[in-house]
C-alpha cells in the first residue's frame, strides 16, 4: 500500500530534510511540500493525503490550529523546534511529534507508529463485520455468563483476572485483559495497561484521563494514540 504525504513547514531546510527521508521509504509518496497553510489548503482540496508532516510554530497560523480547522483530517506527525509545544500534538491525537533537528532514526520510529496505526484500522475494518457485536460469554465458577457489550462501562485488569464494570454491578472473571481485548468489538478502546473502556459510555476526556460519569480513569502514555478512535465517534 502507498501512502500520500504532504509537508507543511515555513523552513526550507526542514522541508528538504523530510523530503530526503521520505525518498528512502518506498511506500510513501510526497505529493507536495508547502511553506504555509494557505498553500497546503489548496493541495488538500485536490489530493487525498494520508499523512501530514506539520510544523507547529509557523507565522500567521500555527500548525495545531490549522489541523483543527480541517474538515477531513489525515494522520499527522508534528514537527517543532520547541519542546514545550510537543504536548499540543496530543490534544489532536497526533501520531507522533518530532523535535528538530530531526534525525532519521527518530523519523523512522514515527513512521513505524503510523504504520502500526494503519494496520490496526485495517484489522478492525476486516473483522468488524465478523465479530459478535452484541456480546460474548465469560466463564466464572464453571458457568458461562453472557456479557452484553451495550451494558459494559469499562474493564479493569487485576493481574490474572479482569473486573467487568456495569452501571450497577461488577463481574470478576479469570481472564487476562489482553485476551479479553481480542474478543470484544471496536466500540472498546484500550487506554491503559489496566483499563479498556466502552467509548459509547465516555462522557468527557482530556489528554490525561477519561471520564465515564463520575468515574475517572487514567490514560497511559503508551496508549495515547488510541484516543484517535474517540474522534471517530
pLDDT tens, residue by residue, 51-91: 999 998 887 788 888 998 998 899 999 998 877 665 555 66
- Structure pTM? 0.55
177: cell is 485483559
Structural domains present in the chain: 3-127 (3.40.50.2300), 135-231 (2.40.50.1020)
- CA distance linking residue 193 with residue 223, whole number of Å: 8
Task: State pLDDT tens for residues 133-169.
Answer: 688 999 988 889 999 999 999 999 998 899 999 998 9
Q: What is the pLDDT of residues 158-168, one digit of tens each?
A: 988 999 999 98
Q: How far apart are CA 174 and CA 151, in angstroms?
A: 20
Could you give the CA distance from residue 70 to residue 29 in angstroms, rounded to a whole number? 21
Q: pLDDT for 9-24, tens place per residue?
A: 999 999 999 999 999 9
Please state, in angstroms and as integers, the Cα–Cα distance from residue 133 to each residue in 91, 128, 150, 184, 213, following that order. 30, 8, 9, 8, 23
3-class SS at 214?
A: coil
Q: Half-sphere exposure (CA, 13 Å, Cβ side) for 160?
A: 1
Amino acid at each position: 500500500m502507498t501512502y500520500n504525504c504532504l509537508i507543511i513547514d515555513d523552513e526550507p531546510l526542514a522541508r528538504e530534510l523530510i523530503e530526503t527521508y521520505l525518498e528512502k521509504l518506498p511506500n510513501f509518496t510526497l505529493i507536495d511540500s508547502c511553506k504555509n497553510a494557505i498553500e497546503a489548503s489548496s493541495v488538500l482540496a485536490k489530493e487525498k493525503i494520508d499523512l501530514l508532516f506539520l510544523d507547529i510554530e509557523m507565522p500567521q497560523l500555527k500548525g495545531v490550529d490549522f489541523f483543527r480547522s480541517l474538515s477531513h483530517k489525515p494522520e499527522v506527525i508534528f514537527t517543532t523546534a520547541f519542546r514545550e509545544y510537543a504536548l499540543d500534538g496530543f490534544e489532536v491525537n497526533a501520531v507522533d511529534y518530532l523535535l528538530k533537528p530531526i534525525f532519521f532514526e527518530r523519523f523512522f520510529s514515527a513512521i513505524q507508529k503510523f504504520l502500526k496505526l494503519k494496520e490496526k484500522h485495517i484489522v478492525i475494518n476486516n473483522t468488524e463485520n465478523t465479530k459478535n457485536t452484541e456480546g460474548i460469554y465469560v466463564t466464572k465458577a464453571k458457568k458461562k455468563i453472557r456479557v452484553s457489550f451495550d451494558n459494559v462501562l469499562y474493564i479493569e485488569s487485576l493481574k490474572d483476572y479482569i473486573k467487568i464494570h456495569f452501571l450497577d454491578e461488577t463481574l470478576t472473571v479469570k481472564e487476562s485483559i489482553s485476551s479479553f481485548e481480542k474478543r470484544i468489538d471496536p466500540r472498546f478502546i484500550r487506554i491503559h495497561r489496566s483499563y479498556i473502556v466502552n467509548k459509547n459510555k465516555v462522557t468527557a476526556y482530556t489528554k490525561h484521563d477519561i471520564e465515564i460519569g463520575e468515574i475517572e480513569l487514567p490514560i497511559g502514555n503508551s496508549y495515547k494514540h488510541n484516543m484517535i478512535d474517540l474522534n471517530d465517534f
